[in-house]
Structure 1
Amino acid sequence: MSLAGYLSEYSLAEILHFVQEGNKTGLLSIEPDRGLNRSLSDIYYIACQSGRIMSVVPGNVAQHQGLLGTIEQRRWLVPEKVAGLKSQLTILRQPLGTHLKSLNLITAEQLTLLYNSQVIATTCKLFEVHHGRFEFNLEVPLVYSEMTGLNLSAHELALLGMRMLKDWSGLEAKLPALDSALQRLSSQLGGIRLDTQELKVWNLSLGELSVTKIAEQLGLESQKVRQIGFRLSSIGLVQEVSAEPIQPSRNEAMDAPPVCVGGGNSQVPVSASFLSNLMGFLKKKG
């Protein structure tokens, strides 16, 4: 069973949300449009286990020697040991990094460096890709020889990738509108760690303030708040809704003098709240 589509329709952040929310295990392939992304490989394979990202490998996954090749290039193992390990790669039943650490052949710090370069850095580059194809295959077996044993949730990795994204032009159509509001989908963050700006936007996501008003209140650029809003919505923390007009309090409405419209002897009293709602309607129509 597989799910396939185009990156122009579904962003990588939205695909990773599907992986985590569905607690998916399988292989996600990302094939950038070579005409637009010549600096990238033809295809990337992202191994997912129960909604967590285990490895990201460029090129032909059938080679099964990407991670060990990196270790060899860094000279963390002697050539004789590398040669012995190559013959065992196809029978591994645990991540290669975990296997090497259990034999005291590699340290936890080295595994972290490998995961950061193999998974986090590569995924950040893939967030720049907005044209190409993707496919998620549930029936492809996991390739343990490409895994360090470390992992991140799909949501955590999506946040890291989007925080590093510099060119948002490919996602412009997906960003919340300036006159829309953001509404929390839960009162709890569910263990997701937000940065300072993300947390401030999330705290104000009550479905009342528009993106523009949130930006003004936080002293941020409106475009920055739109980007943060997309980050939060793509991992299921908020949704875009219509901003609710701020109504005057009951006492203010009662104290406000009536306003009359019309001419001659046929004046009709009109409340201030009615005029406020009417002006809001006319602005929307305009």
Structure 2
Amino acid sequence: MSLAGYLSEYSLAEIFHFIQEGNKTGLLSIEPDFGLNRSVSNPYYLSFQGGRIMSVVNGNQLEHQGLLKTIEQRGWLSPEQVARLKTQTNSLQQPLGNYLKSHNAITSEQLMLAFNSQVIANICQMFVEVRHGRFKFDSQASLTYIEMTGLSLTAKQATLMGLRLLLDWSDLAAKLPASVSALQRSSTEPVGVRLDRQELLVWQLAVGEMSIAKIAKNLGLETSRVQQIGFRLSVIGLMYEVSAEASQPLVNRMMDAPKPIFVGSRSSNSTAAPISTSFLSNLVGFLKRKG
């Protein structure tokens, strides 16, 4: 079953949430409106397995074999080895990175570099640059093993990274929690992610009693900043918006549409990818200068 729509209806963060919450497997296509996204020149294709992001392709077609191209450009395999691999792509039944590592053709460190370059960098760039366009999630699409390193990232982690880099929140303004609302933690610990300093401070005060405006004043932050933090922690399921007076849940503006039902999910045994701190620091600086 497939899900399709416009980014004006569902943000990237909400789409990722739908996929992770259902542990979905399939292919997510993001086709930017190139007239409104002038810095974007290609669509994105993201492979998910069990709610985890396995690969990201930024290009006009899925068959351009970006991972192999990266490996060849970095000199990790010879042109002859790459040519032989290209003839085997149709029969590959496991991530290319796992296959190469099992044959001692590539190291774990090299796979991490490739994952950072193709998955982490592309996701961060997509969140920053893509604001308008269409999306489609196809749960029946074949997995693109040729683009997979064997490392993976949860949609929750990807969402948090992407939203942290977002500079222009105008398209998400209607989805932010109200300044007069309070925030309520949904669990005793922020499971599955590592919060930054400001997120952790907001998390500690998210007990459903203090309004967002008061939290901002208490922490010396702008109210809009706390609203943004509230949104990104809510959209990954760590907290939700409540009335500051009665501490009753409000209608969640981010999740007011019914969740689609998917069938045919497949499990994943892929390894989670640790993220290089220096890589992310350099990437953040690059994207901010570009913005």
Bucket of the pairwise TM-score, normalised by the shorter protein = 0.7 to 0.9
The amino acid of 1:163's aligned partner reads: R
Matched, 1:183 2:181: no
Q: d(CA) in 2 for partners of 1:219 and 1:195?
A: 16
> How far apart, CA to CA, are the structure 1 residues paired with 2:120 and 2:31?
18
Distance 1:107 1:89 in 2: 20
Q: Does structure 2 retain, via aligned residues, the 8 Å contact 1:64–1:143?
A: no
Equivalences for 1:110-125 in 2 at 5 Å? Answer: 110-125=110-125
Per-residue CA deviations over 1:188-238 (Å, capped at 9, x if unaligned) read 323322122111111111111111111111122212111110110110111
Task: Report deviation, 1:42.
Answer: 3.4
Tell me the distance in 2 between the aligned counterparts of 1:59 and 1:118: 11
Partner of 1:226: 227
Number of the residue aligned with 2:107: 107
Q: For the residues of structure 1 that align with 2:176 and 2:13, how far apart are their CA atoms?
A: 13
CA distance in structure 2 between the aligned counterparts of 1:170 and 1:72, rounded to whole angstroms: 39
Aligned to 1:42: 42
Cα distance 1:151–1:104, how it changes in 2: closer, same or farther (>3 A)? same
Distance 1:184 1:244 in 2: 16
Q: Distance in 2 between matches of 1:122 and 1:38?
A: 17
User: CA separation in 1, counterparts of 2:41 and 2:55?
Assistant: 16
TM-score (norm 1): 0.82
1:115 Cα deviation after fit: 0.9
Structure-to-structure mapping, 1:122-133, within 5 angstroms: 122-128=122-128, 129-133=130-134
Match of 2:196 in 1: 195
| 2:151 alignment partner, SS class | coil
What secondary structure sits across from 1:127 in the alignment? helix
Shift of 1:34: 0.7
Q: Which runs of 4+ in 1 moved over 3 A?
A: none
Q: How many residues align?
A: 246
1:94 paired residue number: 94
Maintained 8 Å contact 1:27/1:142: yes
**Matched residue type, 1:69:** K
**Is the 1:178–1:222 Cα contact (8 Å) retained in structure 2?**
yes
Instruction: Indicate conservation of the 8 Å contact 1:64/1:89, yes or no.
Output: no
Equivalent residue for 1:134? Answer: 135
Kindly indicate whether structure 1 or structure 2 has the higher relative contact order, using CA contacts under 8 Å at least 6 residues apart. Answer: 2
TM-score, structure 2 normalization: 0.81
- In 2, the alpha carbon distance for the partners of 1:97 and 1:164 equals 28
> Counterpart in 1 of 2:281?
none
**Which deviations, in whole Å up to 9, do the C-alpha atoms of 1:128-148 show, x marking residues without a partner?**
322111111000010100001
Q: Percent of aligned pairs with the same residue?
A: 65
Q: Which amino acid in the other structure matches residue 45 of structure 1? A: Y
| d(CA) in 2 for partners of 1:41, 1:32 | 8
What's the CA shift for 1:161?
0.8
- Once the two structures are superposed, residues 27-68 of structure 1 have per-residue CA deviations (whole angstroms, 9 ceiling, x without a partner) of 011111110113323321110000100011022444151110
Q: Which has the larger radius of gyration?
A: 1
Contact 1:48 1:54 in 2 (8 A): yes
User: Structure 2 CA distance, aligned partners of 1:85 and 1:63?
Assistant: 14
Within a 5 Å distance, the mapping from 1:1-286 to structure 2 comes to 1-128=1-128, 129-244=130-245
Q: CA–CA distance in 2 between the matches of 1:198 and 1:99?
A: 39
Q: What is aligned with 1:284?
A: none
What secondary structure is seen at the aligned counterpart in 1 of 2:162?
helix
Q: Could you tell me whether the CA contact under 8 Å between 1:120 and 1:161 is conserved in 2?
A: no
